Amino acid sequence: MIEMQDVYKQYKNGVHAINGINVTIKSGEFVYVVGPSGAGKSTFIKMMYREEKPTSGAILINGINLTTLKERKVPYLRRSLGVVFQDFKLLPRLTVYENVAYALEVIEESPKNIKRRVLEVLDLVKLKHRARSLPGQLSGGEQQRISIARSIVNSPKVLIADEPTGNLDPDTTWDIMEIFKEINNRGTTIVMATHNREIVNTIRQRVIAIEGGKIVRDEMRGDYGYEA
C-alpha cells in the first residue's frame, strides 16, 4: 500500500529532514510514527500526501509514484487519501454537513450519493445530530470527529493522521481513538504520527520510530519507547 525506497529530504536551508528511509506499510495496517520533536516525523507524513517532495528516492502509494507525479495530478491523488490534522481545518462558514459534503462535491458526486455517504460517516463519528451546526458551535473533540468524517467520506484506502489528538483532552482522545480503530477494522490503512505515549502503549499497533531522519525502530505491537 505504501512504500518508501531510499528516501532523502533536504530543505533549502540545508536541514536534512529525512536520511535514507526504506519502509513498506501493507494494506490494512495501523501504524504509529513516533520520535522526538524535530526527528523528521512531520516531513515523513507530509511526503505521503505530497505536501513535501523528497530530494531523492521513490514513494509509492497504491502503485502511484508520488516522486514523479505531475503537479496537476496531485489533487486526484489526495482524493484517494484521507488526511486528519491537529487543528481540524474545517471551513468555519459551512455547517457540519456542508464541510463533510464538500469533499464529495469537488469530485462531482451525485447529490443522492453525497447525502447517503455524509449521513453514514456522521453516524460513524456519532454526530449526525449536529449536521446543521457550524464548527464554532462545536467542542474541540466534536470538530476533530467532523474532520475525521470529512477525511473518510470518499472511502479512502489510506488515512494519514498528523497528531490528531494533540489539542484534545484525555477523555476525548480515547473517543477519537475508538473511531480510528473502527475505521481500521473496516479495512482502511492508517498511519498516525503522535507524541501520545499512553495511546501507543495502550492500543498496541506497529510502531515506526524516527530519529535524525532515520527509522531507528520498526516493531509490530511496539511501545512508545521514549520518556514522557
Parse the chain into domains and list their residue ranges: 2-80+156-219
CATH class of 2-80+156-219: alpha beta
pTM for the predicted model, two decimal places:
0.90
Q: Minimal CA–CA distance to 53: which of 7, 5, 3, 2?
A: 7
According to DSSP, the residues that pair with 207 across neighbouring strands are 32, 219
Count Cβ atoms within 10 A of the Cβ of residue 184 and give its class: 0-12 exposed, 13-18 middle, 19 or more buried: middle
pLDDT by position in tens, the chain (length 228):
899 999 999 999 988 999 999 999 999 999 999 999 889 999 999 999 999 999 999 999 988 899 988 988 888 888 889 999 888 889 999 999 999 999 898 888 899 999 999 999 999 999 999 999 999 999 999 999 999 999 999 888 999 999 888 888 888 899 999 999 999 999 999 999 999 999 999 999 999 999 999 999 999 999 998 764
